[in-house]
Amino acid sequence: MEPNSTALAAWERLADIFHDNQNARAVALEQEFSSVRMETFPNVTTYCQRLKTLSDQLRDVGAPVNNHRLVLQLISGLTDAYKGVATLIRQSNPLPTFHHARSMLTLEEAGLAKMKPVEPPAAYVATQSRASDVSSQSTDRRSSNRSRSHNSKGRGGNRGNGGGSRRGTSQGSYPPMPPQPQYFLYQHWGWAPPPWVVPSCPYPTS
């Protein structure tokens, strides 16, 4: 606002501000409009909205985009999943409007979403993985316990047979042994003798 300024002068000043570097901005918008591709957007709606926004901005800087060019740019930037509907739109004569083409793409997107296999949630997969790990660990522990039990039974049987030999009886699958010195039995069966059983050197022969 300036003293003795008219509304027309203020309007023209604002127009100069908004239309400054108009041609340069038109070139930048044209390049961006021509390079828009659907793979950089999450869905059809955002892709179409970006094209419509750029076309509106080009119109504001004096480079309007007609419906024919807008629809051609729309189908040229589609991914391979939309080849069928892109061919259908391209072969239409005359070309459908931008809003009609957008509706066709939206319906195609919904159909493709229904054809995709439903994947289980990540939480379900993690739960199943943990359950499998727990089951595997439990199986390993049971196998280890059975192995220890089998080994302990074998050692217990050996001890039982050794004791039976000392008493002059036959137990298990080993034949009865004749009376032997106590330390010889420890060496034969691989047992560590208690400290109070070890005889003094030299060892007695009977």
Q: Tell me the pLDDT of the chain (206 aa) as tens digits.
A: 678 889 999 898 888 887 778 888 899 999 999 999 999 999 999 999 999 999 999 998 889 999 999 999 999 999 999 989 999 999 988 999 999 999 999 999 998 888 876 555 565 556 666 666 666 666 666 666 666 665 555 555 555 444 444 444 444 455 555 555 554 444 555 555 555 555 556 666 66
> Same domain for 105 and 20?
yes
Residue 156 lies in a domain: no
Sorted by sequence, the CB contacts under 8 Å of residue 186 that are 6+ apart come out as 192, 193, 197
Number of domains in the chain: 2
Residue 80 lies in a domain: yes
Sorted by sequence, the CB contacts under 8 Å of residue 108 that are 6+ apart come out as 44, 82, 84, 85
> Same domain for 167 and 111?
no
Residue 36 near residue 2 (C-beta atoms within 8 A) = no
Residue 107 lies in a domain: yes
CA geometry: angle 55, 61, 67, nearest 5 deg:
30
Q: How many CB atoms lie within 10 A of CB 105?
A: 23
Residue 35 lies in a domain: yes
> Same domain for 111 and 169?
no
> Same domain for 24 and 100?
yes
State the residue range of the domain holding 188.
163-201
> Same domain for 110 and 189?
no
Residue 76 lies in a domain: yes
> Same domain for 94 and 26?
yes
> Same domain for 100 and 168?
no
> Same domain for 12 and 110?
yes
Residue 79 lies in a domain: yes
- CA end-to-end distance (rounded Å), the chain: 129
> Same domain for 18 and 111?
yes
> Same domain for 110 and 173?
no
Whether this model's pTM surpasses 0.95: no
Give me 127's structure tokens: 């739960």
Residue 124 lies in a domain: no
Residue 38 lies in a domain: yes
> Same domain for 30 and 110?
yes
